Structure 1
Amino acid sequence: MPTNRSVWQDKPGVPGIIPINPCDAILQDQSLPFIKYPIILGQDLAGTVEAVGSTAASKFKVGDRVFAFTINNGFQEYVPVDYTLAARIPDGLSFSEASVFPLCITSASFGLFGKDFLGLPHPSLNATSTGKSLLIWGGSSAVGSNAIQLAKGAGFEVFTTCSPRSFDYVKDLGASKVFDYNSPTVTDDIVAELDKGVCAGIYLAIGSVASACQVSYKSKQKLFVASSNPVQPRDVPEGVDAKMVFGTGGVDMFKETLPVTFGGYLVEALGKGVYKVAPRPEVVSRKGIDGIQDAMDIFKKGVSAKKLVVEIE
């Protein structure tokens, strides 16, 4: 086993957690040209360290409770993990709660703080206001829930979209202005608010790329759009700059955002209780690996403001 890898399995009586993400469902149902099949799906996990390589021993020890990001490798009982993409779970946080973060925080941090995307200043516990706003499209999604908190922690006033039933949810995470994405006037309403001040850009966590790009097009500020969804030329009006943020990115992107994720702000903010577990986890199966497909089928029927997880006992 490589010396820079850690492996964990859940101890008897101590459940580990495997969450379900949108990309898992997409990769199961669609053949993508940049993916080599067959693959083991699964991006997020939380559990107990079972073995530690010599390099990883500087950060972890056997028995540590950890959460981690792994690229298409997580739907297993034993999972090799790059130790730089893992962190200890703070006391008081359960496996289920910690498991909601890895892919969400990685994807959000790439789009918000990556130099090839919005390039925002990193969040901190004592951040001051930048005097600028940021639009996060799809704020009640798993990625959007974390993007709101990260942007707020970086000193931005956050505007977001979601359905009316999630308005209170996203406001509790730090959004100051919320818009119903189904409203026929949502684009004009958002533009009117954004153009009252200076906006740093648009991050589309989930939803319509075309709608987010229309906000940029109609705004006098011609805002850059960083999108978690594929960007098709037909969705981007002339003069709008939009680019897809691929959640698994490259090595340089991981290094660039580690101070926000597994190597810095997130862990510190969780430990001090100033970062919320969002979305909340919902255990939908306790059948271990055999329950993953059940959870995937539930996910494909539609999920909002929660993250489905499977217990590995």
Structure 2
Amino acid sequence: MSSIPTTQSAYVINGAKGEVKSVAVPKLASGQVLIKNEAVAINPTDWKHVDFQLGVDGAIVGCDVAGTVVAVGEDVKGVKVGDQLFGLVSGASAITPENGGFAEYSAIYADRSLKVGNKLEHAKGDSLPAGPVTTWEGAASLPVGLITSLIGFVHWAKLPIHHESKFNDQYFLVWGGASSLGQLVIQFAKKVGFKVIATASSHNFDLLKELGAEAVFDYHDKDVLEQISKHAGDDITYAYDTITTPPTTLNVYSVLSKTRESVLLTSLNFDEKTIKEVNPKVKAIDFPLAYLAIDKKKKFGATGFEISSPAGLFEDTVKGVSEVNEGYAKDPAYLRHIPVKIVRGGLSALDEALDIVRQGKNSGVKIVVPL
């Protein structure tokens, strides 16, 4: 393997826009490995960090990466040079601006990175249907959604990610099932044993049923809440609001069980009085961003706002990722990647790729850029 350069090309913040420039290759912290990126994926947080200056000037943007290990840091176990990994980077960080996803090289934590048992290859063509993780592009589409859904289950809701029969008579509602996060939540909930239902636009119904939803409801319908309640009755005990606007969160509160203790995972919570007025049986969990599964602290540049990782989150993430990797070692379809739209052109194509997500033209698909 060729030697690792000291500089690389990366997409960095410059004011309220991004640009490709030459920067240093990141140094490894304890527990990290350096990967040479083969593909990166776009998340809404990426363009928001640029447009709203949530990162700092010079910070490398990007969170979803997939690549080959080229260097191993201290205190790393079970990973070696040449391994193929896909993982999460704290892109556009005000604390570690020198490390991000939209670059030739990224530093990722080995014990919170994902791998499959098969060899990854680059996809041909401009799109991929939902399916097993066999390509770099499919792998790059997963980390943010997978880790976010994983910590919602294992850390916040204290749920398993394997089958337990006690959940077989309970419904799990995924509001925003076609989002990249929603498609992973559906798959986790199905593995646990829940009867899974979701909301989405009608053109995504078949996809979500293939992923494990027994019924999908069009959130555009005026009577969508009545449709959900008619189907599931009083048995919706868990829900994940992946959209997290005030109306969607209140909608989910209203259809959760009125007689059984129920749990709502959301990143937009209301005061306890409002929750109890809508549904007194709901325990709403305001979970943090996936950044905190890898960052002790996340600081936002323009505001200076800072949040800290809660106790136990790192450990729960490591355990959960280990179980996921055991599944992937046996079957690349253990958790299927969502449909992928491929934007070619390397780092120079990132403006185009970010614009697709910025303009909301990515319904049901993940935008991925091969490098």
Note if 1:216 corresponds to 2:236: no
Partner deviation per Cα, 1:230-264 (whole Å, 9 max, x = no partner): 34669x55445544322223263232133333x11
What is the match of residue 193 of structure 2?
155
2:264 to 195, 219, 225: 225
Partner deviation per Cα, 1:117-168 (whole Å, 9 max, x = no partner): x322x122x5546221111111111000100000111111111000111111
Deviates more, 1:105-114 or 1:214-223: 214-223
1:167 aligned counterpart, secondary structure: helix
What is the match of residue 299 of structure 1?
357
What is the match of residue 25 of structure 2?
none
Cα 1:212/1:39, change in 2 over 3 Å? same
TM-score calculated relative to the size of structure 2: 0.72
What is the match of residue 343 of structure 2?
284
* Number of residue-to-residue matches in the alignment: 296
Q: How does 1:105-254 map to 2 (within 5 A)?
A: 105-115=146-156, 118-120=157-159, 122-124=160-162, 127-128=164-165, 130=167, 131-197=169-235, 199-206=236-243, 208-217=245-254, 219=256, 220-221=258-259, 223-228=262-267, 230-231=268-269, 237-239=275-277, 240=279, 241-247=283-289, 248-249=291-292, 250=309, 252-254=312-314
Distance (whole Å) between structure 1 residues aligned to residue 187 and residue 179 of structure 2: 12
1:45 to 65, 68, 85: 65
Note if 1:80 corresponds to 2:98: no
The amino acid of 1:255's aligned partner reads E
Distance (whole Å) between structure 2 residues aligned to residue 270 and residue 204 of structure 1: 30
Cα 1:266/1:105, change in 2 over 3 Å? farther
TM-score calculated relative to the size of structure 1: 0.85
Distance (whole Å) between structure 1 residues aligned to residue 238 and residue 56 of structure 2: 34
2:62 aligned counterpart, secondary structure: coil
Cα 1:79/1:162, change in 2 over 3 Å? same
What is the match of residue 22 of structure 1?
44
Identical-residue share of aligned pairs (%): 25
**Any unmatched runs of 5+ in structure 2?**
1-27, 92-99, 120-133, 293-308
Distance (whole Å) between structure 2 residues aligned to residue 273 and residue 129 of structure 1: 27
What is the match of residue 258 of structure 1?
318
User: Post-superposition shift, 1:48?
Assistant: 0.7
What is the match of residue 66 of structure 1?
85
Contact 1:100 1:277 in 2 (8 A): no
2:104 aligned counterpart, secondary structure: coil
Distance (whole Å) between structure 2 residues aligned to residue 150 and residue 291 of structure 1: 32
User: Post-superposition shift, 1:266?
Assistant: 4.8
2:220 aligned counterpart, secondary structure: coil
**Any unmatched runs of 5+ in structure 1?**
11-15
The amino acid of 2:43's aligned partner reads N
Note if 1:6 corresponds to 2:33: yes
Note if 1:311 corresponds to 2:370: yes
